[in-house]
Structure 1
Amino acid sequence: MGWRRLAGAALAAGVALLAVPGTSNAQVQEGIGHHTPAQGYAGKPGATDWLGSYIWQGRQVWCVSYSYLAPDSSVEYQEGDELKTKAGVPLAPEVAANISYLLLRYSTTNSPDESAALAHLLHSWTSFEHGGLSLSPTSDYRTIAYNEAFHYDNLPPSARETVDRMRKDAETNRGPWTAKVTAPAEAQVIGTPDAWKVDVSKPDGAMVGGVPVTVEVVDATLENGLATAEFKTALDGGPLTVNVVPTGPNPSVTVKLDSPADKPKVHIPAGRENMQRIVTTGGEKKLTAQASTTAKTAPGAVKVAKTDAETGKAIAGTALRITAADGTSPALKQDDTGVTGPDGKPLVLQTGEDGTATVPDLRTPQDICVVEVAAAKGYEEFFDPNAPPKACGKVEAGQTLALALTNKPNKPVVPITIHAGSEGAGVTAKAAFTTELDTGALVAFGGGVLIAGGLLGWVVRRRLVAARS
């Protein structure tokens, strides 16, 4: 068994068949099948009938004009119109669909039972009693009808079973078919495989199993690294799943397959009215379906480490703003939305206990900046809001950009103990001051350090005066 696959050496819409020159000597060659006892009619030659294929100029063919002369390789055949019955009556649509399917499905068979079953079904559907065709033994080769029951009963048991199986197969899977490709619903990532679905369905919507399908991809590869390969739909009638690896921003998948034609084609002998008409394929038609989507590079992340400039220890609680390269607009997430906070502005986050902060799911490649918004406690003195610490870099696909920021700790304070004298024995006052003042730091804290120092000096002076009075 095997599906009919047309290629350069095979029949292509009948053209190759017509192009083969006839041989000089008459030659009838039986292919594969079974001999059965002859169905009698007036002038019947021989004691047996042949149910099976013939070899016409190297090709396997089947006859569709019961009792006419077998195809002669010295006779050239021409492509005719749609297949009709022996009496010239158009086939019923479902019968035409059955024949197209069986020719597509079984025309390359190597099984004698399948070949005989195909011949039997073709004669049953084209040469039954109608339009002047009769089972009367007085009929001649032109008017004799095919005795379906007689030939069926004289086939080997295995061939009879095959007739029943192939008839059911045709009625179940006949065309016309439709093909559909469905891209994954999830966002595609360049370099990451994902499953695309291919459906080949019958008129009732059910899937056709075991159908060869050629898959071609653009801006992508198949898992084997190729851009084209042949697959088969699932035998259980489920969809064909193909893993596709995007290599660019616009991956697409196209499928091509042979489908049963709505009406099979017949081939007619040139100048020989008494010779069988033949079929080689179902006159199949090509089905094509395509789908596309978009793909992005793998997302990246940025991880910021905040440390003490002098000790190298982690600094927790530092407020950091995540921005694009300009330091003011939001960075972009993988879905191209901005990395923003509830206020719609670039996201501000704080370093954790380990002194780090991480932003995942970033669009790549992308330049990212991390800008310090406010220093952690103990590092306020050297923080300048007009020139805050800042670190930038590029986030690449599937990678984590590591950025580092340091803070210089506040300058240490020097404690002084002032003795109150004999009258104030045991009473002390402690004042704190820095060895030098940083104007920027004072301004940054709104003069709070300066005011606090002044108030504390005023308290000390009052206590000294009180001790002396």
Structure 2
Amino acid sequence: MGWKRLAAVAVVSGLALLTSPTTATAVGVKGIGHNASERQPHAVPGSEWHGSYIWQDKHVWCVQYALPAPDSNTPYREGDQLRTKAGKELQPDIAANISYLLLRYSTTKSADEAAALAHLLHTWTSPVDGAVRLDTDDQRFLAYDSAFYASKLPPSVMDAVARLKADAEANRGPWTLSVTAPKEPLIIGTESSWTASLVKANGKGVPNAPIEFTLNDATLVDGSVGGKVTTDADGNAVSIKVVPTGPKPSITVNSDSPADKPVVHQPIPTDNMQRMVTTGGEKKLSSNASGQAKTAPGAVKITKIDSETKKAIAGVALRVTAKDQTSPAKKQDDTDLVGTDGKPLVLQTGSDGTVTVPDLRTPQEICLVEVAAPKGYEEFFDPKAPPAACGTVAAGQTLALELVNKPNKPVVPSTIPAGQDGGTPVATASFDTQLRPGLMLAVGGLVLLGAALAGFLVWRRQ
């Protein structure tokens, strides 16, 4: 839409009144536009011209009807805001319309658009108002007869008038430029979408509008720290893909907008000349947004194993703590990693002897402390100094830890050695010392029989 093009614009201010009536013609070098087929009553020759004038090689526009056009030999200085021929402040919507049209069409190459622009500017700045009227020969107070010229200008010009007016009312300022950071947490080194929008006074987006931006503590995906995006044909907000490189990423966006009010410049040294608007209705808009970025979260995975068999130990309770093995570790959102009891979280190893703790803030030193000895490992467990494994969790990484448990000593059964070397165990037996009567007789008989045999052997030997 040519937002950056800014033409110098000439305009007569109603604040400076001539000391006596004048019949001077609206002299000046004509630029681009159309002559009306007739000149309205009481107007001086040249007033039928609808279009731009040339002032010091620039196209300028007269917005107060019938007074002398700018003289290129006359310098100008900055003055007050544009007012009507009656010296009144323009209504805000009319001032916004003029700013937009000068910004949008001041460099037009179309004679119809140039004539339409001149017609609208005269209509808004020289209406009938108090001393400014249609029935006077004093050009200082002659109002612009909009209805008269609407019938005397070519139909194509009036078609352009309707189009330009609708364009101004739909797209006039003030515009609002804004940019927002993503709602989701920002991760250093990870792409995120920031949103920029340029909105008109009616709340709708500005179509096909360029927006420049610069980044701090961040880059685009290609590593650059700035660029330009353009809204689509419907004026929808645009997305800018930003990669935070530090903890405080920010973006600043800039765009051009129609000014709220045109500013006039008055001739030096005479007031008997039209004043000029050198701001074509353009002003700079700027907005910024920032966020807080963190390093990518990390995780820790611990494996519990038997010191002798190297096999996994399942069901081991482990407390997740900070470096001091007492306070809680920190999650990615900076909250404490605690259980329902408000104390450092306790987890159990699974069937594979492992347990993983995700979404940890980085960098951070983490410890996993054994809460109680698993079955079969009680003998070497010291509750005052329980086994623990510690390490530093890095951004986007999983810290692998290993915690070893020593099994209890095996219990060996007691034995009675036999022989001198004691190498062969002898089974133990039970004895009953309570003798019954029949058993006693049998034992006595055996004793007597043994004695008789012993006596017999002695007799034989003799």
TM-score range, shorter chain: 0.7 to 0.9
Please give the secondary structure, in 1, of the residue aligned with 2:61. Answer: strand
- Does structure 1 retain, via aligned residues, the 8 Å contact 2:221–2:243? yes
- Does structure 2 retain, via aligned residues, the 8 Å contact 1:4–1:105? no
Corresponding residue number in structure 1 for 2:447: none
Which stretches in structure 2 are left out of the alignment for 5+ residues? Answer: 9-26, 417-426, 435-462
How many angstroms apart in 1 are the aligned matches of 2:59 and 2:241? 37
Which of 341, 350, 358 is the equivalent residue of 1:360? 358
How many angstroms apart in 2 are the aligned matches of 1:375 and 1:31? 97
1:76 paired to 2:75: yes
Corresponding residue number in structure 2 for 1:119: 118
- Of the structure 1 ranges 237-246 and 56-65, higher mean CA displacement relative to structure 2 is found in 237-246
- Does structure 1 retain, via aligned residues, the 8 Å contact 2:318–2:369? yes
Give a deviation string over 1:29-65, Cα, whole Å, max 9, x none: 544444543525557446x944333343343322212
**TM-score (structure 2 length as normaliser):** 0.74
Which 4+ residue blocks in structure 1 deviate beyond 6 angstroms?
A: 415-418, 466-469
**1:411 CA displacement:** 4.7
**1:5 CA displacement:** 5.8
Please give the secondary structure, in 2, of the residue aligned with 1:253. Answer: strand
Give a deviation string over 1:282-302, Cα, whole Å, max 9, x none: 454444433333221111111
Which of 159, 162, 166 is the equivalent residue of 1:161? 159
Structure-2 change in CA distance of 1:305 and 1:194 (3 Å): same
**1:104 CA displacement:** 3.4
Corresponding residue number in structure 1 for 2:243: 245
Which residues of 2 match residues 16-95 of structure 1 at below 5 A? 30-41=30-41, 44-45=44-45, 49-95=48-94
Letter in 2 for 1:119: A
Please give the secondary structure, in 2, of the residue aligned with 1:335. Answer: coil
Letter in 1 for 2:246: G
- Does structure 2 retain, via aligned residues, the 8 Å contact 1:64–1:279? no
Please give the secondary structure, in 1, of the residue aligned with 2:313. Answer: coil
Corresponding residue number in structure 2 for 1:329: 327
Letter in 1 for 2:288: Q
How many angstroms apart in 1 are the aligned matches of 2:32 and 2:2? 15
Give a deviation string over 1:344-364, Cα, whole Å, max 9, x none: 222111111222211111111
Corresponding residue number in structure 1 for 2:442: none
Please give the secondary structure, in 2, of the residue aligned with 1:119. Answer: helix
Q: Which has the larger radius of gyration?
A: 2
How many angstroms apart in 2 are the aligned matches of 1:414 and 1:111? 110
Please give the secondary structure, in 2, of the residue aligned with 1:338. Answer: coil
Please give the secondary structure, in 2, of the residue aligned with 1:266. Answer: strand
Corresponding residue number in structure 2 for 1:215: 213
How many angstroms apart in 1 are the aligned matches of 2:212 and 2:433? 106
How many angstroms apart in 2 are the aligned matches of 1:405 and 1:238? 56
Letter in 2 for 1:162: A
Give a deviation string over 1:403-445, Cα, whole Å, max 9, x none: 2223344455667999xxxxxxxxxxxxxxxxxxxxxxxxxxx
- Does structure 1 retain, via aligned residues, the 8 Å contact 2:40–2:48? no
Please give the secondary structure, in 2, of the residue aligned with 1:94. Answer: helix
Which residues of 2 match residues 20-419 of structure 1 at below 5 A? 30-41=30-41, 44-45=44-45, 49-135=48-134, 139=137, 141-153=139-151, 155=153, 159-202=157-200, 205-223=203-221, 225-233=223-231, 235-282=233-280, 284-411=282-409
Higher relative contact order (CA 8 A, sep 6+): 2
Letter in 2 for 1:60: H
**1:159 CA displacement:** 4.2
Structure-2 change in CA distance of 1:395 and 1:82 (3 Å): same
How many angstroms apart in 1 are the aligned matches of 2:429 and 2:102? 117
Letter in 2 for 1:85: T
Please give the secondary structure, in 2, of the residue aligned with 1:191. Answer: coil
Please give the secondary structure, in 1, of the residue aligned with 2:371. Answer: strand
**1:370 CA displacement:** 1.9
Letter in 2 for 1:39: R
Give me the CA root mean square deviation.
Answer: 3.6
How many angstroms apart in 1 are the aligned matches of 2:291 and 2:433? 89
Give a deviation string over 1:280-322, Cα, whole Å, max 9, x none: 4345444443333322111111111223334443332122221
**1:199 CA displacement:** 4.6
How many angstroms apart in 2 are the aligned matches of 1:97 and 1:74? 30
How many angstroms apart in 2 are the aligned matches of 1:466 and 1:107? 129
How many residues end up aligned between the 2 structures? 406
